[in-house]
Amino acid sequence: MSVRDTWNPAQYERFRAEREQPFHDLVALITKRQAGSVVDLGCGTGLLTAELHRELQAADTLGIDSSDAMLERARSLERDGLRFARGNISDWQPEALFDVVFSNAALQWVGDHRALFARLTAMLAPRGELAVQVPANFDHVSHTLAADIAGEEPFATAIDGYIRVFSVLPPEDYATLLFDLGFVAQTVRLQVYGHVLESPDAVVEWVRGTLLTDYESRMPQPLYEEFVARYRARLNAALGDQRPYFYPFKRILLWGRRPD
Ligand SMILES: C[S@@+](CC[C@H](N)C(=O)[O-])C[C@H]1O[C@@H](n2cnc3c(N)ncnc32)[C@H](O)[C@@H]1O
């Protein structure tokens, strides 16, 4: 099955304000300022990478992403000390160690978090800090419905029975993992971000910028339009006519520091 790059910077940034709060909360967990080198894994359009670079007063910040569409936007922000490069987090290997390894809303797309976090830990210099935010909203109807519809015809046949499974662990497992990996200080928390949206229909636009891109990348465009139409009808039926619609969104924020 061929997989297209369906990340769309304009669609993703429609909910920029709502998506930025967890980023700021994550940056606030980092104690290091005047950091030497920083990497932002799954940097997307790079807007928040540039903000991270400023906030941490870093000498050198590198944004890594696998989507050409997102990177094209990011590259327009490049300047001294701020660079972007194409790479897949699953197998990307840096040439030198980092003072901060950062990732906001991206690692949920990468499998086997135990192995992944061991690799990220190995990228950190002594006293280096890891800061990660991942969504944990997979039990909300906005997410379960996408999986249900992917399992129905004609979609199931078109995508060979593919259903997105996210590898995000429970918060306490991340805390244990950080301990097992030798982090000497840590914070792990589950936070509910409440988003007041105009109506349940706005949730469709929200997930079209993230979760649904995964299904979009695996089917022809007309079939994907049918997928979205079925998703929209069923989501509206499930959530009813609530105006505004309060969208509770769970996220895990985690931070850890390496020993000297
Ligand atoms: C939800 S966006 C988050 C972007 C940015 N960190 C932010 O907070 O605005 C997720 C990003 O992760 C990237 N991504 C997903 N899987 C990836 C992988 N395996 N390697 C590199 N980037 C990946 C996508 O291309 C997308 O730009």
Residue nearest to atom 13 of ligand 1 (CA): 42
What is the three-state SS of 132-173? Answer: EEEECCCCCHHHHHHHHHHCCCCHHHHCCCCCCCCCCCCHHH
DSSP secondary structure letters along 10-35: HHHGGGHHHHHHHHHHHHHH----S-
Residue nearest to atom 16 of ligand 1 (CA): 109
Residue nearest to atom 8 of ligand 1 (CA): 104
- β-pairing verdict for 60-65 and 37-41: parallel
Quote the DSSP letter at residue 200. Answer: T
Distance 240 CA to ligand 1 centre (A): 31
Distance 143 CA to ligand 1 centre (A): 18
Pocket test for ligand 1, best of 21, 27, 43, 249 (most atoms within 8 A of CB): 43
Ligand 1 shell residues, CB under 6 Å:
7, 19, 23, 42-44, 48, 65-67, 70, 88-90, 104-106, 109-110, 210
Average pLDDT along the chain, 260 residues, taken 10 residues at a time: 72 76 97 94 97 97 96 96 98 97 97 98 98 97 97 97 95 98 98 94 92 95 97 96 95 98
Question: How far, in Å, CA of 229 to CA of 253, rounded?
Answer: 33
What are 30-87's pLDDT values in tens digits?
A: 999 998 999 999 999 999 999 999 999 999 999 999 999 999 999 999 999 999 999 9
Distance 65 CA to ligand 1 centre (A): 6
Question: How far, in Å, CA of 141 to CA of 236, rounded?
Answer: 11
At 101, give phi and psi (nearest 5°).
-110, 120
Distance 241 CA to ligand 1 centre (A): 32
For ligand 1, what atom is nearest to the CA of residue 67?
25
DSSP helix/strand/coil, 72: helix
Determine the pLDDT at residue 17.
80
Determine the pLDDT at residue 64.
98
Question: How far, in Å, CA of 176 to CA of 188, rounded?
Answer: 10
Distance 167 CA to ligand 1 centre (A): 15
- Helical ranges in the chain per DSSP H: 9-12, 16-29, 47-55, 68-75, 113-122, 141-150, 155-158, 171-180, 201-208, 211-216, 221-239
CB within 8 Å of 145: residues ≥ 6 apart? 231, 234, 235, 238
Distance, C-alpha 137 to centroid of its chain: 12
Pocket test for ligand 1, best of 13, 70, 133 (most atoms within 8 A of CB): 70
Q: Where are the domains of the chain?
A: 9-257
Q: For 67-95, b where at least 16 C-beta lie within 10 A, e where not — what string?
A: bebbbebbeebeeeebbbeebebeeeeee
Determine the pLDDT at residue 2.
67
Q: Provide the percentage of residues in the chain whose pLDDT is more than 90.
A: 92
> CATH top-level class for 9-257?
alpha beta
Question: How far, in Å, CA of 173 to CA of 253, rounded?
Answer: 13
